[in-house]
Structure 1
Amino acid sequence: MSPSTPIFCPTGALRASINVGNPILACLNETGDAVGVSVDLANAFAAELGLPLELHVFKSAGESVAAVSNGEADFGFFAIDPLRAEQLAFTEPYVLIEGCYLVRDDSPLDDNAQVDMPGIEVVVGKGSAYDLHLTRELKHATIVRSATSPTVVDTFMASGANVAAGVKQQLEFDATRFPGLRLLPGRFMQIRQAMGVPHAYGKEAAERLRQFVERAKAGGFVAEALERHGIVGATVAD
């Protein structure tokens, strides 16, 4: 353990905030344990620091961010966003994924630019990166918030809203559960997934985390984790 290690673990163990609401990064397996790319990265970081790891698992991005911001966890895995950056110091992204729109087959919408219109209701996962992004960007459409990202399409179907917004892979999976749905072409945003630590932990902690992410990308760890967990459609960030 290096002299700088305690900046990450005021409780004696390294506490990682894991969001299982984004299946690209983590999910619960058959026994209820969190698994995925972010869990692998958390274990590798704890091993590098020589610390025991505690996983604090949450069902939504908003809860995961709040846990780190409020001191319930020491670091986490989040999409980079200006609002979150007020509380968290982000590394460079390690994975890039796409935010897309889903509509019914009979919807008149066929282009992302058509979504921001009066009378259009867009369902998002509360506190997600695309919720924060669309809250800033949409000027005319109305945002409807589902409790978590995995429940967006269920809320979309039950509410009669016009559009569901989310991570492309989650929407593609949900489209197999409900007939008569289609993705609009392209994406409305690129979601840059990074690791983050509270600003209160200081610049040394942020730099240590940044260096870890850069090594994980350059050494092939992130690419291998994506392959190991069968993740398609996500790319390792440069």
Structure 2
Amino acid sequence: MPDLAISGELLQALAPTGVLRASINLGNPILAKADSGTVTPYGVSVDLANELAARLGVGIRHLVFDAAGKAADALKQDAVDVGFVAIDPARAEGIAFTAPYVLIEGCYLVRQDSPISANAQVDRPGIRVAVGKGSAYDLYLSRELKHAALVRAPTSPAVVDTFVAEGLDVAAGVRQQLEADCARHAGLRLLPERFMVIRQAMATPKSRPAPAVDFLIRFVEEMKASGFVAQALARHGIAGASVAPAHEQEADR
């Protein structure tokens, strides 16, 4: 971003400790994963954090969380400088968002012999839906479902295990995670339509000055336009997620 100078004030606002502290959510495999036996993360959100630190000329520290709600809480508590979470009005009080960089589908999963065949059949009395606590789809379904009951698993990767163990009716989650879970558990199927689009964005604590938020907004737009995000998705073998379109208006905050 040659037209956006990095002043001392901006550097202090984005990395006040001299190191960029990035909240990394391992609860969404599209964003980040970690090799078995290590906590070193990798993925598109890690690549974006590393590139931002390089632009700022500072070191990077990845703070790894196993659930989106925990990653978002770290932002709200000003314990990190940047993070990668879905845009949701329930989070907006303490978090400033860029426009999304990736769009992900939220879908429902049921058993093969379930009478539920369409999304409209989920929100009925007596239906119990497993969700990841504090996830974007938990927040969304908490507002949208009027009759079905939500049962919260501790993390998104634990949703289907909770669904199976507790004999629930529906599991909600990111399509790619649910597809992977279908490979682990026989007798499951996804409903054909998505119930939401999850808009994954970069974010910073809302207490940070407006120029810091504006810098992140422009950084994300450049990362999309340059092909950086698309290349990161391809490099990490992520299928089914799409690069969000350019966002010319003021980003959601």
**Band the TM-score falls in, shorter-chain normalisation:** over 0.9
CA RMSD of aligned residues (A): 0.8
Corresponding residue of 1:235: 242
Partner of 2:27: 21
Q: Is the contact made by 1:77 and 1:193 (CA closer than 8 Å) also made in structure 2?
A: yes
Report the CA distance between 1:2 and its aligned residue: 2.6
**1:31 shift after superposition:** 4.8
In structure 1, what is the equivalent of residue 70 of structure 2? 63
Q: Distance in 2 between matches of 1:35 and 1:177?
A: 23
Counterparts of 1:44 and 1:171, CA distance in 2: 30
Task: Work out the number of aligned pairs and report it.
Answer: 238
Partners in 1 of 2:145 and 2:176 — Cα distance?
22
Deviation at 1:92, TM superposition (A): 0.5
Deviations 1:161-195 (A, max 9, x none): 00000000000000010100000011000000000
Give the match for residue 89 of structure 2. Answer: 82
* Structure 1 segment 143-222 matched on structure 2, within 5 A: 143-222=150-229
1:91 to 94, 98, 113: 98
Find the residue that maps to 2:100 and give its secondary structure: coil
- The answer for unaligned runs of 5 or more in structure 1 is none
Cα deviation digits, residues 27-69 of structure 1 (max 9, x gap): 1114511010000000000001111110000000011001111
Partner SS state of residue 7, structure 1: helix
| Distance in 2 between residues matched to 1:72 and 1:41, nearest whole Å | 19
In the TM superposition, what whole-angstrom CA distance separates every residue of 1:104-149 from its partner, at most 9, and x where no partner exists? 0000000001100000000000000000000000000000000000
Residue identity opposite 1:50 in structure 2: G
> CA contact under 8 A between 1:2 and 1:49: conserved in structure 2?
no
Q: Which amino acid aligns with 2:12?
A: P
Q: Hey, what does 1:39 align to over in structure 2?
A: 46
Distance in 1 separating the partners of 2:77 and 2:184: 36
Residues 174-227 of structure 1: per-residue CA shift (max 9 Å, x gap): 001010000001100000000001111021110000010000000000000000
The alignment's TM-score, normalised by the length of structure 2, stands at 0.93
Give the match's secondary structure for 2:7: coil
**Where in structure 2 are there 5+ consecutive unaligned residues?**
1-5, 246-253
Q: Match for residue 127 of structure 1?
A: 134
Amino acid corresponding to residue 165 of structure 1 in structure 2: A
| 2:119 match | 112
- Give distance in 2, aligned partners of 1:188 and 1:66: 25
Please report the TM-score for the alignment, with normalisation by the length of structure 1.
0.99
SS of the residue 2:24 aligns to: strand
Higher mean alpha-carbon deviation, 22-31 vs 159-168, is at 22-31
Alignment check: 8 A CA contact 1:100 1:186 kept: yes
